[in-house]
Amino acid sequence: MSRRALRRLRGEQRGQEPLGPDALKFVLLDDDDAEEEGPKPGLGGRRPGGAGKEGVRVNNRFELINTEDLEDDLVVNGERSDCTLPDSVSSGNKGRAKHGNAETKQDGGATKAGSSEQSNASGKLRKKKKKQKNKKSCTGESSENGLEDIDRILERIEDSSGFSHPGPPPLSSRKHVLYVEHRHLNPDTELKRYFGARAVLGEQRPRQRQRVYPKCTWLTTPKSTWPRYSKPGLSMRLLESKKGLSFFAFDHNEEYQQAQHKFLVAVESMEPNNIVVLLQTSPYHVDSLLQLSDACRFQEDQEMARDLIERALYSMECAFHPLFSLTSGTCRLDYRRPENRSFYLTLYKQMSFLEKRGCPRTALEYCKLILSLEPDEDPLCMLLLIDHLALRARNYEYLIRLFQEWEAHRNLSQLPNFAFSVPLAYFLLSQQTDLPEHELSSARQQASLLIQQALTMFPGVLMPLLEYCSVRPDATVSNHRFFGPDAEISQPPALGQLVSLYLGRSHFLWKEPAIMSWLEENVHEVLQAVDAGDPAVEACENRRKVLYQRAPRNIHRHVILSEIKEAVAALPSDVTTQSVMGFDPLPPLDTIYSYVRPERLSPVSHGNTIALFFRSLLPNYTTEGERLEEGVAGGPNRNQGLNRLMLAVRDMMANFHFNDLEL
């Protein structure tokens, strides 16, 4: 850079005009500049690239280095000052440039004032630049934490009108007990509370920009790795509306029915690869996704299993009727229809994955959603699970409210899980410090009363519970006839199954020392009542013998889906001997079929006795003609060695006659 340019940047030029209050003007041309450069029209124009914006007029090209900073510095009180030069000033500048700039040699004091003002302006520019950098960094952090702030605001709004207040709100302001909140259906909402929005959504934001899907969904978020969605032939129709309830049903078109028939054939082949081949042509077939998810889960591929369930859930949500609502609690789906069962099972398995993922609040919302679809029949028996999820989510008020509203017509106290979970919720509520003293004492008294009733009604729960918690009972308790080994042996099998289900799922909730000491106090109170001959003890014993003769089919279905070893081992033999399919466990006996599977016409069904004999021994045995007709086994080149062996044995046995045998 030349000496003259450095002199200009330091503010040592002659004839520099001071800065005006409403115009920014730099006159830095001397006589030599006028001779060398001449009157160039581009030097005094607007800022390049600033069409439509007010630029800064400069007569020194080096001043364009900080033009952007100067332009930002002119923003005063939120408004940009007028940077265009008046006509008289601009004409004066041109005149001075033409006549050798004779007027610039008049006053040195003006030059000193101009240089001091320019130095002050440069200092302001540096401060302004630093402020802009700080603002940019702050805006980046605020955008990342924006969602988290929104969630906190929503929580405050909910707390101001929801269940977190110690006193119950009036009944008119309460929502339905099965009301589902949209924001709690998203597991990211719960994970952001634990880990923050930046940790949860940091890697998802770039991917969401590339996502192109037909609609926004509540139950799951579509992924870019999924196949492009096209309607698989699944839809929903409104059957009827009566008494404020709307009854819906999923519907399969002809294309989806053909895919369903191929799926049933693939399941009978006991080969998961056949389902994979079917998903290549029908990537959003729900039952295939459910069955393949179970296969991946058995192979300990949890990530793929969960991804398949989310894809099935997305497929069914895209088929919703416009009037179908997830949150109202007034929409019904009949479980007797096979088309509706897929939605039940998909929601249940998604709920199980959420619970294992550490999102009990989201899993509780899914549980309420399943229960709201058919609360009277409760086909998946969600009442055996909702108390456990409410305790894990620390939503004690909801569990207490559900018990108070449904006890009169559903007799929830006759279920061991509710009989023990509700007093536990009262006790945990009494341990909170933000409640008034009278409410704490009231909750503690109610907890003691209910746990004593539960121990009197279900004495066979205590000893297995203490064993699960690795607690050695007192000698007076273990040797007493009421809580001894006879209490567990004498209970009916159906009751033993419910007890095993509850203890296998919720025993770890009782391991805290404060809970154990509270339980010990009430156990001694129950023993005193038993020794005193309380008539309630005999009444509970007679009730146990009458009520728990045989468990209904929905409880067996729930036990199979729960996969709790202790409860599955207690299933009756007529259930364990049945073939249970993961896509439809224990279907209702009064199933309503919309369409019937066509009868399979294959060479084996009309073949000889030897072929039927091999079919009975090897369910996977199929002939080439049957394989080509079904079109799901992967072609004639699959398992060629086994096929050749089976064909050779079949040809050999075809020439064999039973008359040749000597008996």
Pairwise CA distance, residues 308 & 290, whole Å:
7
CA-CA-CA-CA torsion sign (164, 167, 170, 171): positive
Q: What residues pair up with 333 in beta bridges, in sequence order?
A: 248
| pLDDT for 488 | 86
Strands 245-252 and 75-76: unpaired
| 199, amino acid identity | A
**What residue spans of 532-582 are helical by DSSP H?**
535-547, 553-562, 565-569, 573-576
pLDDT band at 151 (very low <50, low <70, confident <90, very high): low
Q: Which residues of 51-73 are buried (b: 16+ CB within 10 A; e: fewer)?
A: eeeebbbbbbeebeebeebbbeb
| pLDDT for 324 | 94
Of 55-64, 394-403, 500-509, minimum mean pLDDT range? 55-64
What are 614-643's pLDDT values in tens digits?
555 555 555 444 443 444 333 334 344 445
| pLDDT for 625 | 42
Pairwise CA distance, residues 14 & 108, whole Å:
8
* For residue 532, pLDDT beyond 80: yes
- For 167, 267, 624, 632, the CA distances from 635, given in Å and listed in that order, are 68, 17, 9, 8
What are 306-340's pLDDT values in tens digits?
999 999 999 999 999 999 999 888 999 999 999 99
> Exposure of 385 by Cβ count < 10 A (0-12 exposed, 13-18 middle, 19+ buried)?
buried
| 1, amino acid identity | M
* For residue 224, pLDDT beyond 70: yes
Give the CB-side neighbour count of residue 383, counting CA atoms within 13 A: 23
CA-CA-CA-CA torsion sign (464, 470, 476, 478): positive
User: What rounded mean pLDDT belongs to the chain?
Assistant: 75
* For residue 48, pLDDT beyond 50: no
In order, the DSSP letters of 418-452 are HHHHHHHHHHHHHT-TTS-HHHHHHHHHHHHHHHH
Once rounded to an integer, what is the mean pLDDT over residues 508-513? 94
Fold observed for domain 185-199+217-380: 1.25.40
Of 103-107, 269-273, 478-482, minimum mean pLDDT range? 103-107
> Exposure of 590 by Cβ count < 10 A (0-12 exposed, 13-18 middle, 19+ buried)?
exposed
| 90, amino acid identity | S
| pLDDT for 608 | 54
What are 63-87's pLDDT values in tens digits?
544 444 444 444 444 444 444 444 4
For residue 191, give both structure tokens.
């994970």
| pLDDT for 520 | 94
Is 499 in contact with 461 (CB distance < 8 Å)?
A: yes
Is 506 in contact with 391 (CB distance < 8 Å)?
A: yes
Find the radius of gyration of the CA atoms of the chain. 39
**What residue spans of 84-227 are helical by DSSP H?**
87-98, 108-144, 146-161, 187-195, 197-201, 205-209
Pairwise CA distance, residues 90 & 88, whole Å:
5
Q: In this structure, what is the dihedral angle of CA atoms 409, 412, 415, 418, given to the nearest 10 degrees? A: 170
Query: Given its phi and psi angles, is residue 617 left (phi above 0), alpha (psi -120 to 50 degrees) or beta?
Result: alpha
Once rounded to an integer, what is the mean pLDDT over residues 125-146? 53
Q: 10 Å Cβ neighbour count for 496?
A: 21
The domain limits of the chain are 185-199+217-380, 397-550
Pairwise CA distance, residues 611 & 625, whole Å:
13
Pairwise CA distance, residues 299 & 277, whole Å:
19
Q: What residues pair up with 248 in beta bridges, in sequence order?
A: 238, 333
Percent over 70 (pLDDT), the chain: 62
Is 239 in contact with 597 (CB distance < 8 Å)?
A: no
Pairwise CA distance, residues 129 & 134, whole Å:
9
In order, the DSSP letters of 507-542 are GGGG-SHHHHHHHHHHHHHHHHHHHTT-HHHHHHHH
Of 141-145, 311-315, 447-451, minimum mean pLDDT range? 141-145
* For residue 44, pLDDT beyond 80: no
Once rounded to an integer, what is the mean pLDDT over residues 120-127? 54
Q: In this structure, what is the dihedral angle of CA atoms 643, 645, 648, 650, given to the nearest 10 degrees? A: -70
**Residue written as token pair 């702030």:** 149
| pLDDT for 237 | 95
CA-CA-CA-CA torsion sign (106, 111, 113, 117): positive
Once rounded to an integer, what is the mean pLDDT over residues 507-511? 95
Pairwise CA distance, residues 417 & 394, whole Å:
16
| pLDDT for 80 | 42
Say whether 314 sits in a helix, a strand or coil. helix
Note the residue count of the chain: 663
Pairwise CA distance, residues 457 & 498, whole Å:
13
Pairwise CA distance, residues 216 & 343, whole Å:
18
- Which candidate, 449, 516, 529, places its Cα nearest to that of 483? 529
